[in-house]
Structure 1
Amino acid sequence: MKRFATKLVLWTSLVTMLSGCLYPESQKNENQIPYTDQIQSVQTAVEQYQDNKSVLPIKTRDQETPIYQKYPIDFKKLVPAFLQQAPGNSFENGGVFQYVLINVEENPTVRLIDLLLIEKVKDLQLRVNDYRRKKDYPPFNEVLAKDRYSINYEAMGIEEEITVKSPFTNDQLPFFLDQNGNVHIDYSSDLTKAIESNPDHNYQNGDDIRDLLANNSFYVPVASVPYTLENDKAVFLVK
């Protein structure tokens, strides 16, 4: 009986250990939800840090970094003096979000990058690069605008178009390629909805309207290119 009890304890421990392996930190539900209180606590910490240090608690990025990835929050500068710990849903604490700042010059505001989107972009980019190595050119399909192309999935041997779930609308968004074969997410449908939902906006044709998403959501449109509006619809901003 004692031997059976010992085996039972060992089996229970093994199951518990394997459960932890099967469900890593980044896959746990609580680490994939943008809790308002966590975002607000980071916002407060950022403001207190700036008041105290006269600078922002951000990591250094070069000038070529895309605008919405340019100002990642450095939690090492906030913890523990201004924040007890990095949020559970942050990348630093096993989550799927990178905390960043937007509007850094006038009104530094905390937003999130969904790293699962970055992962899907990188995965598709690898497949595009593999095709390019074999064919010497990217898998361009239709011309969407100047230097913007849909992807020829059939030529790549992919049966169905690959999409990604929008953090703004939950719609499925397509990918596209620029003239250099770089993969981007097409947020035009999200932005058109944002234009409709914010009729009092001050944007004009020729303005980059992506902040319509960033300013009205927890998220930023990562892996995006500039868009503008034309006849109350979002279109690629090309020059």
Structure 2
Amino acid sequence: MKAIFKLSMFIMVSILLTGCLYPQEKKKENQIPYEDQIQSVQLAVDTFQESSGGLLPIKNKDMDTPMYLKYPIDFLKLTPQYLSSSPGNAYESGGIYQYVLIDVETKPTVKVIDLRIAEKIREIKTRMKVQGYPPYKETIAKNIYSIDYSKIGYKTEPYVVSPYTNNNLPLVITSTGEIYVDYSSDLFISLQENDHNFSPGDDIRQILSNHSPIVPAYSLPYTIDENNEPVYME
């Protein structure tokens, strides 16, 4: 009975926090990664880097931070000298996107992360804390499992909406209890629709961000098998 009460309280708090986190989320302009907004930030980043002797306007992260989360843009370093204000769809302005840099060693490129995905993962983790241990279900790949949502109070399986196809994507859990989005179906479609020269062993996630302003954050590395289909990287 106490566990049920704790779970209910966690869910209520999570819902309240979600509502507070994105107070302007319903504004249409804050939900779309407009190309002109990204280009204006790209120009500001390029100008900052040139004037600072190669430095980038990013927040410091640990070295082991996943690559798509590793270089968040620090708008305090860009405004107002290089940019009048952070874009309306940026988290800092009440939007749902985190602006980040990829390819920082070669050509720093501005992309965005859909933070609604992070919120869904946070919601599931909140319920897992009440459970006390990871709700593993079936083995999908080595150290990767589907999630038994019934053990953490869900009546239907949650999902995230793909920023690439608008399809519903499942989530998976690792042997360490971390939760990730399963982008397999998106990757399969992108591999079929776009030219590429990937070989088994290559991380193929870049094919998604190459054709979209959004990066596949909260994902595990994928490669291709002998049939040119996406599989989790060993």
Q: Considering only CA atoms, is the larger Rg found in Structure 1 or Structure 2?
A: 1
Distance 1:24 1:155, change over 3 A: closer
Distance 1:176 1:79, change over 3 A: same
Alignment map for 1:30-179 (pairs within 5 Å): 30-53=29-52, 54-131=54-131, 133=132, 137-179=133-175
> Does residue 1:187 correspond to 2:197, yes or no?
no
Give 5+ residue unaligned stretches, structure 1. 1-20
Specify the SS of the correspondent of 2:38: helix
Give 5+ residue unaligned stretches, structure 2. 1-19
Deviation at 1:154, TM superposition (A): 2.6
Specify the SS of the correspondent of 1:144: strand
Deviation at 1:129, TM superposition (A): 2.6
Q: In angstroms, what is the RMSD of aligned CA positions?
A: 1.4
1:86–1:92 CA contact under 8 A, matched in 2: yes
Question: What is the distance in 1 between the residues matched to 2:138 and 2:130?
Answer: 20
- Which of 210, 213, 222 aligns to 1:215? It is 210
TM-score, normalising length: structure 1 = 0.85
> Does residue 1:225 correspond to 2:192, yes or no?
no
More relative contact order, 1 or 2 (CA 8 Å, 6+ apart): 2
Q: 4+ residue stretches of structure 1 with deviation over 3 A?
A: none
Q: Alignment length, in residue pairs?
A: 212
TM-score, normalising length: structure 2 = 0.87
Deviation at 1:27, TM superposition (A): 2.7
